[in-house]
Amino acid sequence: MAEDFLHKHFPPYTPKKGEEYMNGKQLAHFREILEALKAELLDDIERTVHTMQDEATVFADPNDRASQESDIALELRNRDRERKLIKKIDESLGRIENGEYGYCDSCGVEIGLKRLEARPTATLCIDCKELEERREKQMAK
């Protein structure tokens, strides 16, 4: 998956003692991660489009046709998830530009470097995210 890509090319940011949170170096680090992830996702989408065009075969056997349609549907669902992730990446890049990146949308507290390394598109601190997940779980019951 594209998230595996991150850990191979970007070592985690290690802040220096007394370093200010979300300073220029940190913002540049996360901008680089987000832009690389977006480029990788766009390449995957482009590759999928070309593959689907190249492999567009009409099978006479209904089972083969159904299998092909199932594969295509799965691939399209994956690409839709990636499209949504690209939208989140664009929003995160916008947050970097306007100085909001790294701070919780709900309570305004620092999200934290480790959480952002794990999920660079995070907009909630861990406490607010857990609270949101508990609420979602209660609504599902």
φ, ψ of residue 29 to 5 degrees: the values are -60, -50
Per-domain boundaries in the chain? 2-103
Per-residue pLDDT, 55: 67
Q: Taking a C-beta distance cutoff of 8 angstroms, is the pair 59, 68 a contact?
A: yes
How do residues 20-29 score in pLDDT, each as one tens digit? 999 999 999 9
Residue that is written with structure tokens 């970007």 in the block = 10
How do residues 72-107 score in pLDDT, each as one tens digit? 888 889 889 999 999 999 999 999 999 999 999 999
- Other C-beta atoms closer than 10 Å to the C-beta of 18 total 5
Q: What is the pTM for the complete model shown? A: 0.81
Q: Give the three-class secondary structure for 110.
A: strand
Per-residue pLDDT, 61: 79
CATH for 2-103 is: 1.20.120.910
pLDDT band at 1 (very low <50, low <70, confident <90, very high): very low
Highest mean pLDDT: which of 47-51, 65-69, 109-113? Answer: 109-113
Q: What average pLDDT score do residues 8-34 get?
A: 91
Amino acid at residue number 35? E
Per-residue pLDDT, 75: 85
pLDDT band at 111 (very low <50, low <70, confident <90, very high): very high
Answer whether residue 42 shows pLDDT above 60. yes
Q: What average pLDDT score do residues 119-124 get?
A: 96
